[in-house]
Structure 1
Amino acid sequence: MFRDTSHLVVEELSRTLERIDPAQVQAFVDALLAADKVFVVGVGRVLLALQAMTKRFAHLGIAITYVGAITEPAITPKDLLVVGSGSGSSLFPLAIARKAKAIGAKVVHIGSNPQSDMKDVADFMVRIPVRTKLYLDDEIDSRQPMTSLFEQSLLIFGDIVAKMIIDERQLDLKGLWQHHANLE
């Protein structure tokens, strides 16, 4: 049962990653590297995946935090807000995106629904076209519970982007350890 289930999950992830538009990913990398500061916002398991992404990007020297962190600085027009929301309609991320946009920050939506309310706020979207609570026709179906495939894809997407940045900036993998927590 474990081997069959693990094969199913890996196959779903592989199919999903193949459907992400490389041009959208490169635009995301460019926006990350151009921003003075990067903020992420999401809720639930999506927020957990974004926080893992935040930690990894910080290891790469990117000034990044998540909305609500006790040390969160002010966002400015020179900054980027990354909104993780499969449906694009989660109330808190959508409200934060509208506020960031009103301040003049760039907003990118990582999600599945290109027709959500977020389309009117985000500068661009990176679409992870997997099953959401909306059950759109062109979403990749999943046999996993609820939106597990989106959260897994988001986590792996973050690590793929980190590797792209490492390669683009020609960062030394061993040297990255200087940014790793050492009070553990």
Structure 2
Amino acid sequence: MKYQEAQAVITKELAEALSGIEADNVDQLIKEIKQADKVFFVGVGRVLLALEGIAKRLAHLGINTFVVGQITEPAITDKDLLIVGSGSGESAFPLIIAKKAKSFNARVAHIGANPDCSMKAYSDVFVRIPVSTKFALPNEITSVQPMTSLFEQSLLLLGDTIALMIVQQDGMDLHNLWQYHANLE
């Protein structure tokens, strides 16, 4: 497969996946993000990498974000939100952290592909990215890419979409956002 063909396939898959996300669920997630004092993120593997990108982008908007396990992670409280990224909704570590967050009465949002999963027991908000998981469930968008690449790519772009929506909704001046950008580089 040549580059032009490969990128066309990937961007087509991404367009289909992103257009399959329910806008009302994204709006609810944005509401939760805006209401939270602090927003925490948890995931594993490449999902965690996508979530770290989302956490950084939201921090650029002045939102207090933390990735579970980072050395400066503060305590979660009932005023906070935990965003869990897990396509299957069955990954052990995110499930344990979501259960723990609920024990502190924090809100939990799950971004995943599988609506009928164990994470459902802990989630206040669910945003479904309707793509193939490791379980290959019905009604999922299939991908020619290896493993769950389409989920991870869609997750990162969903995060950037949410950031843009917040910028537009709150009338943020893009130039003023540089005050939140790292400056020790």
Q: Shorter-chain TM-score category?
A: over 0.9
Distance across 2 between alignment mates of 1:174 and 1:37: 24
Q: CA deviation at 1:124?
A: 1.7
- State the partner residue of 2:173: 172
- State the partner residue of 2:86: 85
Distance across 1 between alignment mates of 2:183 and 2:125: 36
Superposed counterparts of 1:1-184, under 5 Å: 1-184=2-185
Give the counterpart letter for 2:9 in structure 1.
Answer: L
Structure 2 residue runs of 5 or longer lacking an equivalent are: none
Give the counterpart letter for 2:30 in structure 1.
Answer: V
Distance across 2 between alignment mates of 1:66 and 1:147: 21
Distance across 2 between alignment mates of 1:174 and 1:156: 22
Q: Deviations over 1:120-154 (max 9, x none)?
A: 11012000010010100111000000000000000
Q: Deviations over 1:158-179 (max 9, x none)?
A: 0000000000110001111111
3-state SS in 2 of match to 1:164 = helix
Distance across 2 between alignment mates of 1:137 and 1:143: 16
Q: CA deviation at 1:102?
A: 1.1
3-state SS in 1 of match to 2:30 = helix
* TM-score between the two structures when normalised by the length of structure 1: 0.99
Distance across 1 between alignment mates of 2:169 and 2:70: 29
Give the counterpart letter for 2:71 in structure 1.
Answer: I
Give the counterpart letter for 1:90 in structure 2.
Answer: S
Among the aligned pairs, what percent are the same residue?
A: 56
* TM-score between the two structures when normalised by the length of structure 2: 0.99
Q: RMSD between aligned alpha carbons?
A: 0.4
Distance across 1 between alignment mates of 2:139 and 2:161: 24
State the number of aligned residues. 184
3-state SS in 2 of match to 1:83 = strand
Distance across 1 between alignment mates of 2:60 and 2:105: 27
